Amino acid sequence: MNPYFAGILLAFVSPILHGWANIIDSDFSNQIFKRLACVIFFSELVGLVFLPIVIIISPPTLIHSWLIFAMLLACALIEIFYLFPYYWAFRDADTSIVTSLFSLDKLFVPILAYFLVGERLSTFQYLGLVLIVIASVSLNLDLKKHTINRALYLMLGVSVMLAVESVLFKYIFNHGVSWGTAFVWVSGMQFVVASVLLLFPKNQADFKVARRKMNKIGYLFFLEELLSWGGEAASTAAISLIPVSVEQGVSASQPIFVLFYALIFGRAFPKFFKEYTDKHALIEKAAFFVVIILGTLLVIGKGVGTL
């Protein structure tokens, strides 16, 4: 299979899986866990269960460069600390709107990729990224009240961190590190950092309460982690095959999948869907999602070169 086409397919797997994970994350953030350090620790703990799959597909190797090691550590730290504003944002906005704000990193990824990994897109691809960002920000503007949802500011911070992480991964792959090596090292580092966070007294107290809750929702948590892990693995693999800016453009389709899931399953499982689906809200979201789809189609188009 053509590597570019394979990368595009993997890039779409990420928003499809992450869309479901976002829905469950919203429920965790708003109803189950009080301190986020605990949910992050459990996430990393369960994530270790899936690492053998990566090891079989792409056996990891030792890291011999301190620069690469530092970049992998930076990626691990970002994977931990972006989760705090990410979960807070769910308390201020619909799930599909929060996920649409992941698109803000399209402001930063092309710039960072241009200077750090020499990545160039065509004019139409850059136009697609601009359309995605405009539509995503517009979803959070309240033109009647002339205000901006707090989730926008929280997800702006998330987007900056994830943009840096994506470009670091591309740099690492461009310097001969395999997908499996990068993924396994970062996952291991994430677990160590999450374990350190759990040492704080308040987090330990909440951990005891959360552990009892896990007996009731453990199956749901495992499902969420499987979806998140699959989405992250697909995203990282896609970055190893296609330009990081293109992968990020495809990921902008994530809120569309979230809204689609809400429309199909919202009435049957209202507990899990924090989503306004009345006629006015649907028309407004649909209009902006059409723009996001157009932007994504432009980004997927070829015309990519390297300096």
| pLDDT number for residue 97 | 65
Q: In which band, very low, low, confident or very high, does the pLDDT at 263 lie, cut at 50, 70 and 90? A: confident
Average pLDDT of the chain is 80
Q: In which band, very low, low, confident or very high, does the pLDDT at 306 lie, cut at 50, 70 and 90? A: very low
Q: Among the listed ranges 15-24, 230-239, 298-307, which one has the minimum average pLDDT value?
A: 298-307
Mean pLDDT of 134-139: 73
Segments making up each domain of the chain, as ranges: 3-306
Answer whether residue 84 shows pLDDT above 70.
Answer: yes
pLDDT digits (tens, 9 = 90+) for 162-206: 889 999 999 999 999 999 999 999 999 999 999 998 888 878 777
Name which residue leads in pLDDT, 307 or 26: 26
Q: Among the listed ranges 15-29, 138-152, 184-198, 283-297, which one has the minimum average pLDDT value?
A: 138-152
| pLDDT number for residue 133 | 79
Highest mean pLDDT among 53-67, 78-92, 270-284: 53-67
Answer whether residue 268 shows pLDDT above 50.
Answer: yes
DSSP, residue by residue, the chain: --HHHHHHHHHHHHHHHHHHHHHHHHHIIIII-SSHHHHHHHHHHHHGGGHHHHHHHS-------HHHHHHHHHHHHHHHHTHHHHHHHTTTS-HHHHHHGGGGGGGTHHHHHHHHS-EE--HHHHHHHHHHHHHHHHTTEETTTTEE-HHHHHHHHHHHHHHHHHHHHHHHHHTT--HHHHHHHHHHHHHHHHHHHTTSHHHHHHHHHHHHHHHHHHHHHHHHHHHHHHHHHHHHHHHTTS-HHHHHHHHTTHHHHHHHHHHHHTTT-GGG-----SHHHHHHHHHHHHHHHHHHHHHHS---EE-
Answer whether residue 245 shows pLDDT above 80.
Answer: yes
